[in-house]
Structure 1
Amino acid sequence: MKADAEHQPFGTRLGSGRSSRVSGAGVTVADDHVVKVVENVDAVAEKYAAFYRLGQRFSFHAPSVLSVDRAAGALHLERIFYAASLRDLYSDAIYRSEYREMEGLLFTVGRALANIHLNLTQEAAVDWVAPTTLKNRLSEYGYNIDHSPPVRRAILHGDFGYSNLFLRTDGQLVILDPCPDGIVTHGCWERAPVYVDIGRMLSCLEGAALPLRAIVRLNTATICRMQRTFLDGYRDVANFPVEDTAAFAFGYAIMMEQAAGSKGVGSIVKPALRYNRLVRRNFPLKRKLKYYGRANLVRDDIATVPTYSVPKKE
C-alpha cells in the first residue's frame, strides 16, 4: 500500500528536517540519527537488534542500532525519513470517510504483530505482572485475568500503538521503539498474554489518542470494521486461537487506563464518552463512577457519541 502524496509532510515528524531537536522523553533527533536514553541500555539494544532482524524477515522496517553509548546510557539509532504515523493516517481516513487503504494497512499491521509474537525470543525474558488498576478495568468488562482459561503468551513489543507505527512513502510499514509504555508494561523483555499488545492496538482503533474532532466522527460500524481487519491480519499468521472476549477486554481496559491518565479537556470529555458507551452496553455503571468522581458529567445530553464497539456477550 502506497502512502498518498498528501501524507508526505507528516514525515517531518520522523526526519525530513535537518536540525537537532528533542522529540520526546529521553529522545533527541539529530541530522542523520536518533539518540534515545534508556535504562538497561544493553537489554534495550538487544531488543532493537532483534526487531531489526525480524523486520528483514517479515517485510516491515525497524530502525537499526548504529552504536551504543554505555557511559551515557544511550542508543544511537537509524533515523527514519518521510513516514506518516498511523494516528495521522487514521485521522485522515476518518475526515475523508475513506477507509480502503487503511484496511490494507491494518491487515499488514496485524500480520506483523503476529510474526513478532511468534518469533521474538529471549531466554532471560521475565513474566509480566498485570497492574492492579488494569485488573480492575478487566473486571469491569467481565474478564477475570486470574481465573480465565490459559492464553497464549509471548514476548511483547510493549507499546504497540499509534506512536510507534508508521508508513513510509514507499509503502513499507515501520515499527519503532519496542519498549515498555510505563503504564501497562514496565520491562524491556516481558512475556505476557498476547492480548496486551493486541488490546493496545484495539484501543487505538477505538479512538484513544485521536483528536477529539476525529473521535466524534467515528461510528460503531467503522470502529468494528477497523478492529476486525486488524484481528483478521493477526489471525492470518497466528497458529493459535485468538479469542474475541479476551482481545476486547484488554482493549477496553487499556483504553480506560489511558483515559485516566489524560489531562485538560481530555480528562473531562473522554471518560464521559466512555461512560456513555458502557451505558449502552448495560454495564452496572454506578459502582464504576468512583474511578472518575465525575458523575455530574455523565448526562443524557452527551449520549450521542459512538457506542463502544466490542461484541455483546451472549
Structure 2
Amino acid sequence: MTPHDPYHRGSRAVQDRVGVRGLADHVGRSIGPGIRPVAAAFLELQPMLVVGARDPDSGRVWASPLTGEPGFVRATGAHQVSVAGRAGTGDPLAAALGRPGTPVGTIALDPRTRRRMRLNGRARPTPRGLAIEADQVFSNCPKYLQKRHLLGARTGAGPAGPPRVTAELTPDQQRFVAAADTFFIATVRDGGADASHRGGNPGFLRVLSPYELSWPDYPGNAMFLTLGNLTTDPGAGLLLLDWTTGTALQLTGTAALAYGPDGTRTVRFTLTEAVETAGASPWTWSAPEYSPANP
C-alpha cells in the first residue's frame, strides 16, 4: 500500500482473479486519510461504532461494539476521531484497545439511512475512551444494508452482563446465527486492520457445524479489502447483534475464500472461540426492512 495505491497484494490478487482491477482503481480514489466535513457530521449522529483489531496477546482477531449517545464519536481533527467510551471489561478487545498504537479498523453503520463509513488507523487510550489516528477513510454503497429505526434505549438497560465463553456454538447460538441478516467482520493485514459489514436475507449466513460457518460473497464495490486481507492473513472476527435485546455474539477464528466454477465466491469460517454478552448494546431497533439488493 502506498499513498497512490490504497490496496496491498492480497486485494490486488483477488481483484485480478475476478477481473475488476480497473473498477477497483476508480473506486479506490475515494480512499484517503482525511475526514471530510460530511463524514464528521455522519459520525456525530451514530449511536454505535464497530471496532476490529487483533489481540496481540492471543493473536486472535475480534470485532467489538462501542456504543453511546449520538456524539460519543467525534472528529477532533482532519485525521483523528475521539470515542467517549471503551470496550467492556469482559470484551476480548479491551486489553488491546488499552494499548497505544493498536491497529484498528472501524465501521459506522446507520441502519436508519442505509449509510456506512469506514475509518482505519491506530488507536490510543484516552481518559474518556479512545483516540484513533486515521490513515484510511471512505464510505461504501448501501448494498445489502437492512433498514431499521432506532427505538431508543431499552427500559432499565444497565451494564453488560458477564460474557459467556465457549469453544463451539451452542444450539441457541446456532439458531441465532442462522436467522441473522447482518454481521460485521474484522480482518487484519501487515500493520493494519479493517472492519466491514455483510448482509443478506436470513439464511445467507449458514451454520455448517457448531464450529463452522459459511456465507456467499455478494458483488460489491470491487475493493476486496476484507477478502484481500484474508488472502494474506486468515485471522477473522465476526460480530452479530440482537437488534432487540442488545446481546452481542463475538466469534474469532480463521476464514478462507473459495472460488466456484461458475464464478461464485464463498467464505468459510472456522471458529476458535465464541463470546456471548447480554446487554452489550443499550439500544433497541425496529424489525428490518430488507435491502432490495439482497439476492
TM-score bucket (shorter structure): 0.3 to 0.5
More helix by share: 1
The one of the two structures with greater contact order (alpha-carbon pairs below 8 A, sep at least 6) is: 2
Q: What's the TM-score once normalised by structure 2's chain length?
A: 0.33
